[in-house]
Every structure is written in structure tokens, then in C-alpha cells.
Structure 1
């Protein structure tokens, strides 16, 4: 079994999760069993899985595992299941129903948004109207967690239940907050006849992965840790002979403070702290390999592993991006260009707006569509307003299905300074969109061939990028040629090509061993 190890799945996900979704589908086509592994408790997980087309046989969550709910069918829990005292008065509401004992609020029943009366949370209050307890219901219709609160409405304790209502995990929280990372005491109750005690969720995750390794083909599984901060260490420390890989999804070194070119030298640069454990000499030999997205990454990291760490660990280049292949569409193009990606600080979203303002001065009817979410959205919106172009810069939020958006746009543009092979870039190429980006480490150059399927500029050359885009959009013949070549590029990232790389470099290598 192949396990792609991550921390969570949300309604809005990053490129790491989307790369895993694509990899799951790819492995399915290759007839290689694979699952996505998540750590965080999320009562809406299986609703989210359905949103992204994931079946219950494709995801295994740590809490589901210990709650013995991995294979649970989906049901709908309605208010009758909340066991409300029949002598109390209910003030019904489709969003939040209130339950009164005389004149005092006894409880509130919150329903899942977008459903007809499906239980989400049942809150209980004391005589002074303090929230003291909340029962959390799983999307699949069982009471999965009970949270207890202090006078400041902070969670102080949790009980996680199996579908039969038995407590299987108890957790206490510290003073820092109510994030799951703040758990300071955990008891795994009567697991295989014994109680286990942990100081934090990381220790529980360690046990979970080691137990998961015993489920199918013990010692013969393959783990690929996808999220650096939370999955590298637990995967590398799984006991036994199963293979362990880490996937490097982003730039791994810090740019020097006086480096105006923002060069990130993986071979010799200062390592980002989130990678220090994996690249420590005493740990790196635990790995069966390091997987990266681009050949440039591969060369530099292999150099670092050999010359600085003095280790013998294979570095394998397999693009994170994969598309079914070039798309054929009859949808008419609109006067718009598109960006797709996380709107994070450092991703260049504000300067994308600045650059587009220069384009708008020459092409006044052109629109910029920005698909994504993140901390930089508010700043970018304000910048568009400050520049007087808010009516032609359209923030479209996070969308799962972008087929129409790609098909209707004229080109894909990004001004990010720190991204390795944006997945959206190859998706855009498959729809025949020319691509425009800065020539940054380590990805765009392996997708964009300047003057053939798009345009590359030195990082920070906003004026030059704007002028290049204007000239390209004013030249329909060249735009069409770039678009046709973009589709040829997409063939290099097709499921067939990327599947072949996985087969040759990871899957068959494991079979031979």
C-alpha cells in the first residue's frame, strides 16, 4: 500500500492537497493501491472528501482509525437524536434551534449549513448561561466528540467517541488556544486492551502510523510524507522495513538578506528550519528517497546530500503537476487573463495587481480574474481600489472546478517569487493558455519556454512583464501559436507521462527491492 501522508483536508486546500488528489487518481489508473493519510480531527471530513471526489477507501484519518469509523456508512442525524428532554421547550429554527428550561437557555442545536436539519453541534449551558459542553456530530451521523469549556469559553477537555458512543480518546488542552496542536495530554482508551498515554498529538500520530503499517502487507508499504512541518519526522520514524520518502513541495532554503536576485540555492543555501530534521545527517539515512518536482531541484538537492550531508540517498524528480492531457473546447474566449493559486503573503498577489494596472492603461477592456484564497487577498483588493481598477480585477475566491475559467481566458499569469511548479500552470497549458511568469527557482522554466509557449521575465520586472503581455495580446497570431505550443507542453505532464515516471522511479524500484 502507498500512503500519502498529510495533516488535514479542508474545504479550501493548498497545492499540496491538490497534488495528492491528482496522485491518488493517477495511482488508481496504474492499479496501484494508495490512500491519503490525514492527522487532524474534522467532523466534516467525509463531506469534504465527497466534494473532491474522494471515496472512503481513498482516505484514512487518524481519529477515524481509532474511532473504528473508517468504513462507516453515511447517515443523517436529525434533532431527535440529540436526546432533548421532552419537558423542555424548543424554539425551532433551520439554522440554530434553542432549547429552554423555563426562562433559562438550556441548550442550542446547530445544524450543518446546506442541509435540512442535519445535526452539527449541540451546546449546553449552565444556570448562569455559561457554555459548558458541546457535542460534535460527524457528517456521517454519529456523535463523535464532546468538548468541555472553562469560564472563558476555552476548550479544556475533549472526549472522542466511536459510533457506539464509547469514549476511545480523551484529550486535555493547555493555555495557548484550542488548536489541536495545543493538546497537552491524550489518553487512548482501551486500545487493543490497553490504555496509552501521550503528551501531544504528534506522539499519537507516531503510534497511528506504526499501527497503520501493520494493517496491510506489514513492513512492505511505502510512505510519502507531503507536508514538511508535521509529517516528515513521524514518517521517517515509522519502525520496520517499509519504504519512507519525503516530497519537497516548495523552495527549501532562505534567500540571503543582501541578495537582490532572491536566489535560493538548494545546494549550499541556509536550510529552512522546517526541513532541518529530515536533512540532519543522523536522520536522512532513514529515507528511501527524496522526491522533488523539478530537475533543477533534483540537481541542487542531490549536490547538497552528497557534498554537505555526505549521505547516499536518491533524489528523484517527478512533477507534482499532472493533467489528463490537452483539452479540446469550443468555448469562446473572453477579454480576460487569469491567475490561479494561493493568495499568500510572498506569492506576489499585490504586485500582480500593480502589474495589471500597467496593462489596463493600454487594454482598458481586459479583466484580470484571480482565483484563490489567502492572507494577501485583502491587501490586493485594497491595492486594486487604490489604483482605481477594482472594476476590472475580479477576485473569484477558491473554486474546485475551473474548466470554464481556463477555457474562457486568453492567458495565465503569475508574479509569484517563491513557487515550485505551480499546478495551475500546467492546467492552464492543457487548455491552450500561454503562460507568463517570473523566472524564479525552481519551476517556471521547466514549464514555460520563453517565446514559444509563453513569456519569462526576471523576478521583479513588472514593467517589462506588462509590456510583454500587452504586445502578446495585441498579436492574435502569436497568441494562437503560443497556445498551441502550450498544449504540446501539457502532453509532457499528462497522466501517462507522469505515471511512467512513478512506475520507473518509485513503484518498480520497490518491487525489485
Structure 2
């Protein structure tokens, strides 16, 4: 299995995620098993993936431990009808939105946001304490677009997250993240995973455990957002085939290939070469530059980031071309 590791997948894709999707589809066409794996919690991951016909070949670390793999639909509680039918509640729609304020015996208790104008698909609920004038947001419930309560955040002073819980579709707590006063994770608890509870001091340890669970004899990890995971690879108990992908220039001074400082997105690669099996660059020239800096045990390979959907490219007759028109597609970047 080939896993392409990234952060998330939105409705609009930057270049790296475009490259991931094209690569996975190309692997599948060639009969290779491949999936995109994201390290962020995204409640609309599968909804977004369906836009690019990739929902069968993607999952997140949260989906994995929340027992919510795959683009399945779940029966969701109808909060709007529940509140509307109970005389103790009063709903106040917010103009020009799909949101409602919820009052319990005239006490403002929560604010609900829905995906749709018919209030059938709930997105999140913010809960408040009282009184109204001094209210604080104390809890937020976030619902997966597939129809289940996925994430519960307990908030302290200044809306600082104290506890972050992630549930499976049945409502059981599977992942709990605790935060200290510095807003940093102080403990991650993995509940009832293979009938055991696990504890991690930080995300790097948790990610390493996750990668170990995925790692098999012929598993390959292609890392597109290397900074998010490379610190976890040395913590793995199994030996991983880990290959970072270079998507941009890697030198701050491009014409000083042997002495130039490495750009910040890729410094972590050169700081963790013991964990790197190989590197993929976009061009032959860049691969050559990388090989000048890499030890002999690690090689950079040039693999272009794009490919043609068809082998036939329509050519325009030369006499029909505009001889005075040149089109340049590029962008400015500091390097």
C-alpha cells in the first residue's frame, strides 16, 4: 500500500493537494493500492473528496481511530424539530443565515449553525453559561457532514480549549486531547483501541503510533506536507519507507547549490535524514542539486508533478498561430 500523507482536503485545492489526487488516481490506474491520509480533523473531508472522485481512497488519522472510515451516511438527530416541539424551548432564526438562537425557558443556552436552509443537517452547536449579559461559550459540538457528532470541545476562560473529545458514529469517546494553559496538548488518550487504552504526551508520539499501525512489509509513505509528520518517523517502532516530496524550490540562494541555506519547509528533511529513504523532486535539475547535498545512502529522483489525461495533444498549424504572442504562466516567490 502507498500512503500519501497530507494535512487536509478542502473544496478548493492548492497545488500540493492537486498533485496528491492526480498521483493516487495514476497509481490506481496502474493497479497499485494507494490512499491519501490526512493528519487534520476535517468534518467535511469525505464531502470534499467526493468532488474529486477520491472518497474511496482517503481517510484521516481521526477517521481511523474514530471508527468512521469511508463515505457512509448516518442517521442524525433532528435538533430543530426536537427544540421546536418542546414548549420549554424557543427558537430565534438569525437573519440571512442558516443559524438559530436557542432559548430554554427564555434563558439563552446555545447557538446552532445548520448546513441547509431547512435546518435538517446540523453543523455545530455553541453552548453558553449565564446570565445573558455575562455569558461565556463553554462548549462546542461539531458534527461530521456524514451525520454524526464528531467533536466536542470544552472551553475555559477566553474560549481556550481545555478538553477536545472525538467520538465514533455510535457516540462513544475514542480520542481525548487535553490542553495546558499554554494552549499546548499535554496528553492524548486513545480509548478502547483493540480493547486497550493508550496515552501519548504529544501529537508526534500519537502520529508515530498511527504510522506503525499502517506500516506493513511493503508499505510506502509519500510525504507531501513533510513538516507535519517527519518528527514522528524516528519515534516509530517499525522501520518505515519514508519518501518526502519536494514541491517547490529548496534553496534560498538557488545558484549556490552546495552552500545555500535550505528553505524552511524542507529544513526538517535535512535534519532527519536518518528517517528518509529517498526524496522525489519535480525536475531532473533539482534532483541533481539535491544529490549534491545528500549522503550516498539517500538518492533524489526526478518525477514530474503533472501528467496528460490523454496521449493525444492537439497541435495548431504553424501558419494559424499568432507569431507575436507569448504566454508565460508563473508566479513570483521570494526564492
For the criterion TM > 0.5, the same-fold answer is yes
C-alpha distance in 1 between matches for 2:61 and 2:222: 16
RMSD: 2.8
1:119–1:174 CA distance, 2 compared to 1 (3 A): same
C-alpha distance in 1 between matches for 2:206 and 2:116: 31
Corresponding position of 1:416: 332
1:106–1:17 CA distance, 2 compared to 1 (3 A): same
Instruction: Please report how far the alpha carbon of residue 236 of structure 1 lies from its aligned counterpart in structure 2 after TM superposition.
Output: 5.8
Corresponding position of 1:71: 70
CA contact (8 A) 1:7 1:227 kept: yes
Corresponding position of 2:290: 301
1:221–1:273 CA distance, 2 compared to 1 (3 A): same
Q: TM-score, normalised by structure 2?
A: 0.85
Is 1:41–2:51 an aligned residue pair? Answer: no
C-alpha distance in 2 between matches for 1:122 and 1:417: 41
1:219–1:123 CA distance, 2 compared to 1 (3 A): same
Gapped runs of 5+ residues in structure 1? 256-262, 331-408, 420-513
Corresponding position of 2:50: 50
Corresponding position of 1:201: 203
What are the superposed Cα offsets for residues 117-136 of structure 1, whole Å, 9 maximum, x if unpaired? 31101122212232111111
1:201–1:10 CA distance, 2 compared to 1 (3 A): farther
C-alpha distance in 1 between matches for 2:75 and 2:307: 36
Corresponding position of 2:319: none
Gapped runs of 5+ residues in structure 2? 317-324
C-alpha distance in 2 between matches for 1:166 and 1:329: 59
1:156–1:286 CA distance, 2 compared to 1 (3 A): closer
- Which of 135, 140, 148 does residue 142 from structure 1 map onto? 148
1:21–1:134 CA distance, 2 compared to 1 (3 A): same
Q: Which moved more, 1:64-73 or 1:107-116?
A: 107-116
CA contact (8 A) 1:251 1:418 kept: no
C-alpha distance in 2 between matches for 1:316 and 1:82: 58
Is 1:289–2:278 an aligned residue pair? Answer: yes
Secondary structure in structure 2 of the residue aligned to 1:233: coil
Q: Which moved more, 1:9-18 or 1:157-166?
A: 9-18
Instruction: Please report how far the alpha carbon of residue 292 of structure 1 lies from its aligned counterpart in structure 2 after TM superposition.
Output: 0.7
The structure with more radius of gyration: 1
What are the superposed Cα offsets for residues 411-432 of structure 1, whole Å, 9 maximum, x if unpaired? 343242468xxxxxxxxxxxxx
What are the superposed Cα offsets for residues 150-186 of structure 1, whole Å, 9 maximum, x if unpaired? 2312222111101110111111234455xxxx43321
Instruction: Please report how far the alpha carbon of residue 194 of structure 1 lies from its aligned counterpart in structure 2 after TM superposition.
Output: 2.2
C-alpha distance in 2 between matches for 1:108 and 1:80: 12
Secondary structure in structure 2 of the residue aligned to 1:301: helix
Q: Identify, as 1 or 2, the structure richer in helix.
A: 1
Q: Identify, as 1 or 2, the structure richer in strand.
A: 2
Instruction: Please report how far the alpha carbon of residue 66 of structure 1 lies from its aligned counterpart in structure 2 after TM superposition.
Output: 0.3
CA contact (8 A) 1:186 1:197 kept: yes
Is 1:119–2:108 an aligned residue pair? Answer: no
Corresponding position of 2:98: 95
1:198–1:250 CA distance, 2 compared to 1 (3 A): same
Instruction: Please report how far the alpha carbon of residue 249 of structure 1 lies from its aligned counterpart in structure 2 after TM superposition.
Output: 1.3
C-alpha distance in 1 between matches for 2:104 and 2:281: 60
1:164–1:75 CA distance, 2 compared to 1 (3 A): closer
